Amino acid sequence: MSSFKQRAVFISDTHLGTRDAQSEYLLDFLRHTECEYLYLLGDIIDIWKLRSGWHWPQLNNDLLQLVFKKARTGTQVIYIPGNHDEMLRKYAGSNFNGIQIQLNAVHETADGRRLLLIHGDEFDSVVASNQWLAHIGSWAYDVLLWLNRHFNNLRRRMGFPYWSLSHYLKHKVKNAVNFISSFEQALVREARQRGVDGIVCGHIHHAAMEDMDDGITYANAGDWVENCTALVEDEHGQMRIIHWLKESAFLLSIQEECEAHQNMPKESKEPEILSTPSYPTSWKLPEQEALKYMIDVAANE
């Protein structure tokens, strides 16, 4: 099995324990990935769901075992709890079978930049002007997920009530865009105040990687509920967001080609065709595309 080799991997918001968790794809990602540092940036296990609707397939146990195995075999694994797994915050400073629990951390990239790692819910109160989305996991977010799935169908079927739905979306989408940008600004401010070169977080389920005007990096690892994204750093300190479902076959074939080239410089070897994770055709649109679609619909109303 060929591997996707990176220096550091950052993932967040896997929400294991909910029905929306994409455990199968996450397992596929982690099985194919090798790294020196693995950062779990919160909302990894959705402990809130323990109260009702807990969903824990065997896959989730396989996932945990794989992470423990990585920790045993040379990967430094750091778990920064979020708001859905805040019960783990009281264990900050402890080490569970090689997994280090911390409230936050500073990661130093291969090219010497210092990045503050946090989950991000700490800033919900700062971003209070947009309360409807300030609490990911609340009913508003469930509504957004539901819309992602059903908006197409509804729109076709609805006829007259179409206007009110569209009005509703336009309002919400505008708020969502405002929310994301004020969240980013709050985190960049924090990075500046702490004197670090950048900040890496999760929480809002919106993967991003941007160098701001004043040289501060804002990165968000995204989620494994809708988007299946991770932030990765290569051996040179280059960082980027990957969308595993879209890119896995490509990333693995590149890696394999490099290895084949290194091992057998005289022969050119056809890259093997790799199996990609199959996913249902009813797979949900990534959130950003759904938002773009909603904006288009609202604009053409």
Interaction of residue 43 with Mn ion, rule CB under 5 A: yes
- What part of residues 180-239 is at the interface with Mn ion (CB under 5 A)? 203
Q: Which amino acid is at 169?
A: L
- For residues 81-140, which are near Mn ion according to CB under 5 A? 82-83, 121
- Measured from the CB atom, is 203 or 206 closer to Mn ion? 203
- What is the distance of C-alpha 187 from the center of its chain? 17
- Using CB under 5 A as the binding criterion, the count of chain residues that bind Mn ion stands at 5
Residue 298 CA to chain centroid, in angstroms? 27
Closest approach, Cβ 169 to Mn ion, in A, equals 23
Burial of 291 by CB count in 10 Å (0-12 exposed, 13-18 middle, 19+ buried)?
buried
CB-nearer residue toward Mn ion: 121 or 226: 121
Closest to Mn ion by CB, 2 or 83: 83
Is residue 12 a contact point for Mn ion (CB under 5 A)?
Answer: no
Whichever of 7 and 205 has its CB closer to Mn ion, that residue is: 205
Is residue 14 at the binding interface for Mn ion, with CB under 5 A as the rule?
no
Contact 199, 107 (CB under 8 A): no
Q: Among 39-47, 60-68, 235-243, 253-261, which window interacts with Mn ion (CB under 5 A)?
A: 39-47
Q: What does each C-alpha distance from 182 to 176, 218, 272 come to in angstroms?
A: 10, 12, 45
* Binding of residue 248 to Mn ion (CB under 5 A): no
Q: 121 vs 287, which CB is nearer to Mn ion?
A: 121
Q: Cα–Cα distances in Å, from 265 out to 168, 250, 273? A: 60, 21, 20
56/141 with CB nearer Mn ion:
141
Interacting residues of 221 by C-beta distance below 8 A, sequence separation 6+ = 10, 11, 12, 13, 41, 200, 201, 202, 207, 229, 230, 231, 241
Q: Contact region for Mn ion (CB under 5 A) — 78-86, 91-99, 211-219, 231-239?
A: 78-86
- Select from 76-84, 90-98, 209-217, 278-286 the region that touches Mn ion (CB under 5 A): 76-84
- CB nearer Mn ion, residue 85 or residue 197: 85
Nearest distance in Å: CB 42, Mn ion? 6
Q: Kindly list the distances between the CA atom of residue 242 and the CA atoms of 164, 249, 267, in Å, as whole numbers in the listed order.
A: 36, 12, 31
Which of 119, 137, 114 is closest to 18 using CA atoms?
137
* Residue 174 C-beta: closest distance to Mn ion, Å: 22
Residues forming contacts to Mn ion in the complex (CB under 5 A) are 43, 82-83, 121, 203
